[in-house]
Amino acid sequence: MKILVGLNNKNILDYLEFTNSFIIGLKDFSINYLEYSKDEINDLKEKYPNIELFVSINKNIFNNELDLLEKNLIMLDKMKVSGILFYDLSILSLWKKNNLKVPLVYAGEHMTTNYNICNFYLNKGCEYAYLSSEITLDEVCEIKNNSKIKLMCFLFGYPEVSFSKRKLLTNYFLHNNLYKEKDWYTISSDDENKYFIKESKLGTRILYGKIMNGIKPFNALKGKIDYAIVSEEGIEHSVFMKALKVYKQLLDEKIGEDEAFNKILELTNSDDTVFYYKKTIYKVKDENKN
């Protein structure tokens, strides 16, 4: 298993002590990763030829974007990036049309929940699946036991709850005749239910308001998944780097699970493992019964 960092800082040197695997976003085509232009990606590959660089292209694609998308895919293939995270099936279609070799990562967010989905995309040519953060540890292991696709799992950071291509913040403020001062707000019903809502030109994302302390599932998944994703988004850089060091120490077995868990707890004030140990599917009430 490798640690795969979702970047929020373009100073790659900061991270190389702990990992050489990164996710970035392609400018104007990514909804949740630090955006790089094609020239910046090329420069990054030339300066650090030994890093693993996964590029996210995970927005909804419109007809008038297909030509540019095709050119970008061909460009990334020539650059030999480590993989492309995608959601829109136009990417899979263009990948096949151009006989591209760049590995594909099906990143269907909340839809990648079982081994049937994983095997479907494996048979379509995808090498990786980025699993939903809303399934349990047991379900991840079940997928591993029933699919040969390589697996990525989110294990640290603010998990994404939902995305809409609508400008939800802008619409809210316009409707209420208010001034929108920023693009990132906190919404909550009480102290226990807090979320972040973030708007960009591509749409609006809602993030869970607590940092996932994924130390326990991280340790349990060693040898079972290929990449553990840790995201810096919304986290102070110095805090994230300390947390990244803890994950690396646990991976290298330099510290134990309990010590690692407590260090992350101290850094983030969170012991939340989100859904790894919490079932999210319940039996629906039988409507035929009185």
Rounded to two decimals, the pTM is 0.92
What length is written for the chain?
A: 290
pLDDT at 124: 97
List Cβ neighbours of 61 (8 Å cut-off, separation of 6 or more). Answer: 69, 88, 90, 91
Opening angle at CA 39, ends 36 and 44, nearest 5: 70
List Cβ neighbours of 15 (8 Å cut-off, separation of 6 or more). Answer: 5, 7, 22, 241, 244
Q: What is the pLDDT of residues 129-157, one digit of tens each?
A: 999 999 999 999 999 999 999 999 999 99
**Matching CATH number, 2-158+212-236, of 3.40.50.850, 3.30.1330.200, 3.20.20.60, 3.30.420.40:** 3.20.20.60
Q: What is the pLDDT of residues 220-254, one digit of tens each?
A: 999 999 999 999 999 999 999 999 999 999 999 99
Judge whether 214 and 263 are in contact, CB under 8 Å.
Answer: no
Task: Note the helical H segments in 192-256.
Answer: 215-220, 237-251
Report the chain's terminal Cα–Cα distance, integer Å: 51
pLDDT at 178: 92
pLDDT above 70 for 290? no
Ordered by start, the domain boundaries in the chain are 2-158+212-236, 159-209
